[in-house]
Amino acid sequence: MSYQALYRVWRPQRFGDIAGQEAVTQTLKNALIQGKTSHAYLFTGPRGTGKTSAAKIFAKAINCHHRVDGEPCNECETCRAITEGRLNDVIEIDAASNNGVEEIRDIRDKARYAPTQADYKVYIIDEVHMLSTGAFNALLKTLEEPPENVIFILATTEPHKIPLTIISRTQRFDFKRISYQDIINRMAYILQEEKICYDEQALHIIARSANGGMRDALSLLDQIISYGSDAVTFENAVKVSGSLTEEMMISFSSALLHEETESALQLLQEILSAGKEAGRFLEEMILFARDVLVYQQTNGKAFADNTQQYSEAFQTFSQEAPATFLYEMIEAFNETQGEMRFSTQPDIYLEVLAVKLSQSKAHAHATAAVPSAQAAPNGEVQRLAHELELVKKELAKLQELIASGNLTVSQEGAKAAPAKKETARQSNTSAGFKPNMGRTYQILGEATKQDLARVRDFWTDILDVLSVTQRAVLKQANPVAASPTSFILSFQYDILCQKATEDAELQAAVDAATQRMLQRPGELVCLTEEQWTSVRRNYIQNRNGSPAAESNGELKQAAPKQAPVPSAAPKQPVSATGDKDKPVDLDLPPEPPMPEMEDGYRGDYHPGNFADDFSVETDPIVIEEQKEQEVVDQALSFFGDEVVTVVED
């Protein structure tokens, strides 16, 4: 017979041969001994953990007349026939290729017939989660009440895809990943039986690469034996598995720890040039950082599943590397591992990662200097507090003089400081993206909630019909106001806002998509988020009759101005004397009388009108800014801009 792979030759033939699944095998053996076997079983777990092997062993054991302690004898005709796959009463089905309703109906019809050679007819359905919904429904009744002497064993790696109605009709056994040491022990036993020399460290490399799967470990072991001419050495294991040596990982980690960026990049290039795969490199480095961290935190002891002897270089590095550095390494490696999955240039991610980690300490020092620099002026706080107390005393004296009539205050002087502040604010306005403010306010005047709701409902569909480049420009934009013919988009970034405004082809595509989906024009006006916040605040305040909040100079000038109301009464002089608690008569024209409506409101203003026509609510941030502005204006009017400095943060 031709050569067979190790995992096929050494497939477990007894429950005792299954490595690392003692809870499952002992339960099945006891059920056989006590005669309490079920009619259906569900074996779940990762690949290569013994699910199919356990199903075949169970099929042999339940049909074996000479079993001992629940184990099949493997010598009778029935056991040998099942092992060789020639017993008609043990049917193994691959659900991945037989997942239709007709295949399951065929199983259901044949299950009615009694077994021909064995005592029980056993159906082993592998990868059962691949069955279709109709196939599961066809299997449901047969699985619940199968004919006598029929047993179903379902095996899967993804139990979450199996309907709960199927799971509830079976006994479920979860196969866990095989431990590190169990894989090593099993490989050592096989190599001894095969009379093949091996290096103990090579088995550790293979066990770590197997990731808890015995089949993966034996397949890799088979490759190493073929590569090394019937010998398993550490060097061959590293070459075939693509793993990193401890020396490579310590050298690379030390370069990162000591901020040797050039050395780290050179080591990384050597590792990748040696044929190491980028994803495998990250896995090895994560495991290495984990081993160092565990070694530190357990005072020189590792986990129970890792009995390898650590070298002197490993112990020295574990003493040098702080735990915070290891935390940062693991977190950065994990993030890069997720980002690399969709990249065609994984090496670039690794190079950036090497530079980032090797310079992280310098960055940490730079950021740590910021709080100390900010804490430096704290010594001036007491001095400023003292000066504030002096100013309060001076203010009290001024108020006494005003109350006694010995001092008068000019209204023009009180308004001078705010005027200077407004001029300074406008002069400091940044010259960024300049939107079409006239058209913006025209759209706001015609905007309604219904139009905005329709645009938002179809916005995702509109983006889908655009080209990839156009969709990328509008991906971060959101419709914030809409009229029957136009709508406003708010952009997070100025450059995208300007791009959308200048791209006539994009605007034409949006207009065409809007007309096709909403049967209405789709003219587009673009604003940045900051501009939209300022425009909305000014528009709300103008519509509600309150003075517009200060914003940047350009938007302030573009806001529609209300016509001045003619004075209906002579101006009254402002009294600078009298009780400070009495209201001050401002030099403003009286409010013209307005006809009173039935609901108690005057004129055409009603709180509900604006909310119904335009989908914008009063922003709490705007209210807070108004309160802050009132405080600033009062301070400037009392002390003047020579004493008070307004800092725009």
The encoded tokens of residue 432 equal 């960024």
Band (pLDDT 50/70/90 cuts) for residue 408 is low
Is residue 85 over pLDDT 60?
Answer: yes
Residue 620 has what pLDDT? Answer: 63
CATH number of 180-241: 1.10.8.60
Is residue 109 over pLDDT 60?
Answer: yes
**Segment 139-154, tens digit of pLDDT:** 888 888 888 889 999 9
Q: Is-contact 126 95, C-beta < 8 A? A: yes
Buried b (16+ CB within 10 A) or exposed e, 598-618: eeeeeeeeeeeebeebbbbee
Q: Which residues contact 588 (CB under 8 A, 6 or more apart)?
A: none
The lowest-confidence range among 130-134, 281-285, 507-511, 562-566 is: 562-566
Using alpha carbons only, give the angle 353, 358, 364 rounded to the nearest 5 degrees.
Answer: 105
Q: Which residues contact 363 (CB under 8 A, 6 or more apart)?
A: none
Class of domain 246-364: mainly alpha
Overall average pLDDT of the 247-261 stretch: 88
Express as a percent the part of the chain with pLDDT over 70: 74
Average pLDDT of the chain, as a whole number: 77
Band (pLDDT 50/70/90 cuts) for residue 548 is very low
Instruction: Provide the 3-class DSSP secondary structure of residue 199.
Output: coil
Residue 56 Ramachandran class (φ > 0 left, ψ -120 to 50 alpha, else beta): alpha
Band (pLDDT 50/70/90 cuts) for residue 614 is very low
**Segment 621-647, tens digit of pLDDT:** 666 776 677 666 766 666 666 666 666
State the CATH architecture for 6-174: 3-Layer(aba) Sandwich (3.40)
Overall average pLDDT of the 270-298 stretch: 86
Is residue 304 over pLDDT 70?
Answer: no
Q: HEC profile for 206-270?
A: HHHHHCCCHHHHHHHHHHHHHHCCCEECHHHHHHHHCCCCHHHHHHHHHHHHCCCHHHHHHHHHH
Residue with tokens 């079409």: 436
- Tell me the residue length of the chain: 649
Band (pLDDT 50/70/90 cuts) for residue 398 is confident
Residue 125 has what pLDDT? Answer: 92
Instruction: Provide the 3-class DSSP secondary structure of residue 605.
Output: coil
- DSSP string across 444-498: HHH--HHHHHHHHHHHHHHHHTS-HHHHHHHTT-EEEEE-SSEEEEEESSHHHHH
Between CA 267 and CA 273 the distance in angstroms is: 10
For helices 346-358 and 246-257, the axis angle rounded to 10 degrees is 50
- Nearest-Å Rg of the Cα atoms of the chain is 40
Overall average pLDDT of the 158-164 stretch: 91
Band (pLDDT 50/70/90 cuts) for residue 557 is very low
- Spatial CA neighbour of 555 closest among 569, 541, 576: 541
The conformation of residue 407, written as its DSSP 8-state character, comes to -
Between CA 520 and CA 487 the distance in angstroms is: 11
Task: Give the residue ranges of DSSP H helices in 407-448.
Answer: 411-427, 437-446
**Segment 450-492, tens digit of pLDDT:** 888 988 988 888 888 888 788 888 888 889 999 988 989 998 8
Between CA 33 and CA 21 the distance in angstroms is: 18
Task: Give the residue ranges of DSSP H helices in 298-377.
Answer: 312-320, 323-340, 346-358, 360-375
Buried b (16+ CB within 10 A) or exposed e, 169-199: bbbebebebbbbbbbbebbeebbeeeeeebb
Residue 636 has what pLDDT? Answer: 67
Cβ–Cβ contacts within 10 Å for residue 455, how many?
Answer: 24
| β-strand pairing of 90-94 with 40-44 | unpaired
Residue 42 has what pLDDT? Answer: 94
Q: Is-contact 140 109, C-beta < 8 A? A: no
Q: Is-contact 483 443, C-beta < 8 A? A: yes
State the CATH architecture for 409-424+432-557+608-649: 2-Layer Sandwich (3.30)
The conformation of residue 408, written as its DSSP 8-state character, comes to -
The lowest-confidence range among 125-129, 435-439, 504-508 is: 435-439
Overall average pLDDT of the 84-91 stretch: 88
Residue 498 has what pLDDT? Answer: 87
| β-strand pairing of 231-232 with 197-198 | parallel
Residue 69 has, within 13 A of its CA and on its CB side, a CA count of: 5
Band (pLDDT 50/70/90 cuts) for residue 590 is very low
- Spatial CA neighbour of 332 closest among 289, 292, 272: 289
The conformation of residue 71, written as its DSSP 8-state character, comes to B
Between CA 234 and CA 340 the distance in angstroms is: 29
Overall average pLDDT of the 427-439 stretch: 64
Overall average pLDDT of the 487-506 stretch: 87
**Segment 195-230, tens digit of pLDDT:** 888 888 889 888 888 888 899 999 999 888 888 777
Q: Is-contact 521 515, C-beta < 8 A? A: yes
The lowest-confidence range among 287-291, 506-510, 595-599, 633-637 is: 595-599
Higher pLDDT, 25 or 554: 25
Between CA 161 and CA 130 the distance in angstroms is: 8
Residue with tokens 């400023």: 384
Overall average pLDDT of the 92-105 stretch: 86
Buried b (16+ CB within 10 A) or exposed e, 132-157: eeebbebbeebbeebeebbbbbbbbb
Residue 303 has, within 13 A of its CA and on its CB side, a CA count of: 11
Task: Give the residue ranges of DSSP H helices in 70-213.
Answer: 77-84, 101-110, 133-144, 164-167, 180-194, 200-210
Buried b (16+ CB within 10 A) or exposed e, 53-68: bbbbbbbbbbbbeebe
Q: Dump strand ranges (E) for 6-85.
A: 40-44
Domain map of the chain by residue range? Answer: 6-174, 180-241, 246-364, 409-424+432-557+608-649
